[in-house]
Structure 1
Amino acid sequence: MSPTLLFFRRLFRRKLVLAAALVLLSLLLGALLAPWVTPFKPDAMRLARRLKPPSDVNWLGTDEFGRDILSRIIFGARASLGIGAAVVAVSMTIGTTIGLFAGYFRRLDAPVMRVVDAMMALPDILLAIFLVAVLGASAFNVVFALSIVYTPRVVRVVRASTLVVRELPFVEAARALGVSTRRILGVHVLLNVASPVLVQATFIFAYAVLAEAGLSFLGAGVPPETPTWGTMIASGQQFADDAFWVVLFPGIAIVLAALSLQVLGDGLRDMLDPKLRKAL
């Protein structure tokens, strides 16, 4: 059996993890194929059908402008999941680099970690709101703000793993053989801290999706004309008493995305940790 097949077989041994992966895959495929799988255009307004309940025409109902909620949820997945993926990419790249240097070079450890501790002392959502308020509401600025918020988490994880790996015999042997520091960090250390970084990436993805929805709901995120799950809830909250579906279904999408990422992250952690893997 190939290593890749064995990896997925162990990962999906638990049915809950498999279900979470299928839910996440469905959301990602819907986001990628949105123009071809949605029954209506997301911005097509039909005021004659405003606030209609779920039916055979509009499976999840319509909003206050008569727009199809299902189509907007599928297109909203593009923005919500896209922002989450971008935050993961940026925070992982910067956080991993800083964490490697802080953990490997003793002189950098103390000053870097003091800055990281100071940043983590601030509430995540308040720091993100402040940054977006200063920079302006746009998808790029939301990614930038959330990347700053979640990079310290990655730095702490990578730094802690690097402190352990740098003292292992194979790293000391590489130093004794005259291997360059760049190669030691890029090959010997990075590959051995990849497991906790991968697990942390799934959690940050979930946090970023929730944070983006919160920022959009508060009006400090993506502009309202861009369909995201958070903007859908924000625009529909005033009609929730008479048309609950305008906030219910976008909320379900947020819960499914965040929960599936959390469960998948737990499954990866349990499988990659030798002690937890034995208990499975």
Structure 2
Amino acid sequence: MTIMASVSMPFVSGLRRLLGNRAILLGAIILAVVVLAALLAPWAAPYEPNKLSIVNRLKPPSMTNFFGTDEFGRDIFSRAMFAGRISLLVSLGVVVISTVLGVFLGVTAGFFRSLDAPISRLLDAMMSFPDILLAIALVAALGPSLSTVILALGITYAPRLARIVRGSTLVLRELPYIEAAVAMGLPTWQILIRHVLLNLASPILVQATFVFASAMLAEASLSFLGVGVSTDMPTWGTMLASGREYMNNASWLMVFPGLAIVLSVLSLQLLGDGLRDLVDPRLAKES
């Protein structure tokens, strides 16, 4: 009983701090609504996202069409729900690729002194380009498609994680228990996994939320510019691009997709800020 109580106390304390952080709570609620709307789109959407109805084109928001209709009579509410699936899928894929690539490069550069200089110069070169320009160049080289957008954005945002992981690894490498593990002859992979990566979990998680938000915004930007996913797929970016021609007469074509982007990115930024404050050692001491 005593052992169970000692194990559960840190969990309860951590959960209380997590729920007590207003930024995390608000961000989680908004993100949960967006995710649920995207996941339930095939069943909850009132209309097919690509169903044309010319007689109902450019109808304002009403009880029949909650967000109105576009220039082809398609229901904007249904298209916004299905577009969320594309944005979340792309952002999740970008987070996975950028995290794997960034952690590998960061840990390698930070732990192995001989590889630090060349990897750091590579990261500096990649970060010297604006994110959106580098993503456009990669998509243009690989060809526009859903998979290439994910790959291009994953490569684009990998240096962000790599620089943070490298800096933390440089600090961890000099700690006494790491030096003791090396002196004891433990395999390098075991040291990296058990003593380095486990201690990097918190900053990686925090940075991943910011990458998620940036990737969602970048995907919308690429789609808006016409170099993202196929135009046959409803995305918030393509909805904004098609709605700009009717901005003066049918403002709802841009308002609701733009609002979806703003709320999604805002929720992830709130989560990232809240998690960063939660794992900050100085704030932990104050609490």
Higher alpha-carbon deviation: 250-259 or 170-179:
170-179
| Cα pair 1:103 1:109 within 8 Å, conserved | yes
- The corresponding residue for 1:39 is 46
- SS of equivalent to 2:149: helix
Higher alpha-carbon deviation: 130-139 or 74-83:
130-139
Matches within 5 A, 1:113-262: 113-262=120-269
Structure 2 gaps of 5+ residues are 1-7
Distance 1:6 1:90 in 2: 33
2:280 aligned residue (267, 273, 279): 273
Matches within 5 A, 1:46-61: 46-61=53-68
Shift of 1:5: 4.5
Distance 1:81 1:201 in 2: 14
Shift of 1:194: 1.1
> Across the two proteins, how many residue pairs are aligned to each other?
280
Shift of 1:215: 0.5
RMSD value, Cα: 1.3
Structure 1 gaps of 5+ residues are none
Higher alpha-carbon deviation: 131-140 or 53-62:
131-140
| Cα pair 2:58 2:72 within 8 Å, conserved | yes
Deviations 1:181-240 (A, max 9, x none): 000001110000111111110000000000000000000111111011101111111011
Shift of 1:17: 2.5
Q: Which amino acid aligns with 1:115?
A: L
Shift of 1:3: 4.4
Q: TM-score, normalised by structure 1?
A: 0.97
- SS of equivalent to 1:193: helix
Matches within 5 A, 1:88-107: 88-107=95-114
Check 1:33–1:100 CA distance in 2 against 1; reply closer, same or farther (3 A cut): same
Distance 2:264 2:285 in 1: 29
1:19 aligned residue (20, 26, 41): 26
Deviations 1:117-164 (A, max 9, x none): 011001111111111122221111111111111011111010000001
- SS of equivalent to 1:207: helix
| Cα pair 1:222 1:231 within 8 Å, conserved | no
| Cα pair 2:26 2:270 within 8 Å, conserved | no
Higher alpha-carbon deviation: 6-15 or 199-208:
6-15
Higher alpha-carbon deviation: 32-41 or 107-116:
32-41
- The corresponding residue for 2:81 is 74
Q: TM-score, normalised by structure 2?
A: 0.94
Distance 1:183 1:28 in 2: 37
Distance 1:3 1:144 in 2: 39
- SS of equivalent to 2:20: coil
| Cα pair 1:92 1:201 within 8 Å, conserved | yes
